[in-house]
Amino acid sequence: MGPPRHTTGVRPPAEAIASLAGIVAAIAFVILIGVEGALAYAAWRFRASRAEGVPAQIYGHTRLEILWTVAPLGVLAVVFVLMLGTMSEIGASVPANGPAALRIGAVGHQWWWEYRYPRDGAEVVGANELHIPVGLAVDLELGSNDVIHSFWVPELGGKIDMIPGRTNVLRLYASRAGVYVGQCAEFCGLEHAWMRITVVAQPADEFRRWLDAEATPRATPAGAAAEGERLFSAKVCASCHTIRGTSAVALAAPDLTHVGSRLTLGAGVLRNNDAAMRAWIADTQSIKPGALMPPVPLSDAELDALTAYLRSLR
């Protein structure tokens, strides 16, 4: 499922930026050919075997000096004007004025995303999969838990750094429902590349239903899943994760209350299914080396129970 197209007649920001980059690259290519061509010609034309004594020694050449000052200035002016056009186009694709319909907190962690949705005066915490309503401006309040990250979903808006100790605001706007992808855009350590961003844009009523479900504590598990819940607290899991409705309330790692409903695991490293969940718990470090989830020795039966439990958390 590819990212959907905008229907407003405005190109998504990524397309506008890509076309500007293409134009700049074309201009740079023409300059490259001109400069390298002149260099090659001079090297060939004035090679040693053709030397006819010492060539004329020129000191200062007013017309040439003016030319190579004005020409780059002209090129930069053209790029500048094109860039202003692109910036206003990006502005037009994301409604810039007025208050946002929704303000969602987004916190960068090494190497995952935390999202905080307002609901009835409280906050609903989710991880690694941002949900937003379609057709409404959403402001993300960006922060970081550790180092500088950068939030970038090219189809939905601009790119802004997430800086520890300050809040930056990024406006997102999706004109069509769908799954949009993004990426942490600031090198933030070993697993920077696996800080993928997944944004699910849904019609407003669907979003509301999703948020209501996200706000509920986990459903009481039965069978193997119940044993999984017991293990989750008995093993080291609960010292980092929260599963609302249980004794696991730690905030160092992603909230797993509804992890079974997410599209991916490990901030995009695996598609979420039974086999992936089991592999992730069994050996996180082989899948995402450096991830802060420590190896936990588990028997096959324990792995099965934990997998059944986490997958049941829809």
Residues in contact with ligand CUA by CB under 6 A are 108, 111, 149, 184, 186-188, 192, 195
Shortest approach of ligand CUA to residue 183 CB, angstroms?
A: 8
Structure tokens at 200: 């699910």
| Residue among 55, 40, 35, 157 at smallest CA distance from 106 | 157
Q: What is the CB neighbour count within 10 angstroms for residue 272?
A: 19
Shortest approach of ligand CUA to residue 193 CB, angstroms?
A: 8
Nearer to ligand CUA, 254 or 260 (CB): 254
Nearer to ligand CUA, 111 or 115 (CB): 111
Shortest approach of ligand CUA to residue 156 CB, angstroms?
A: 18
Q: Is 170 exposed, middle or buried (0-12, 13-18, 19+ CB in 10 A)?
A: buried
Shortest approach of ligand CUA to residue 55 CB, angstroms?
A: 54
Q: What is the CB neighbour count within 10 angstroms for residue 174?
A: 27
Nearer to ligand CUA, 192 or 311 (CB): 192
Nearer to ligand CUA, 108 or 221 (CB): 108
For residues 199 and 126, give the distance between their C-alpha atoms in angstroms, rounded to a whole number: 12
Q: Report yes or no: 197 and 156 within 8 Å, Cβ to Cβ.
A: no
Nearer to ligand CUA, 111 or 232 (CB): 111
Q: Is 51 exposed, middle or buried (0-12, 13-18, 19+ CB in 10 A)?
A: exposed
For residues 201 and 207, give the distance between their C-alpha atoms in angstroms, rounded to a whole number: 8
Shortest approach of ligand CUA to residue 160 CB, angstroms?
A: 13
Would you give the end-to-end CA distance of the chain in angstroms?
22
Shortest approach of ligand CUA to residue 189 CB, angstroms?
A: 7
Nearer to ligand CUA, 41 or 187 (CB): 187
Structure tokens at 159: 């790119």
**Strand residues in 24-172 grouped as ranges (E):** 102-109, 112-119, 122-127, 129-133, 138-144, 149-152, 159-162, 168-172
Structure tokens at 296: 């936990």
Nearer to ligand CUA, 127 or 184 (CB): 184
Shortest approach of ligand CUA to residue 155 CB, angstroms?
A: 19
Q: Residue 313 carries which side chain, given as an amino acid letter?
A: L
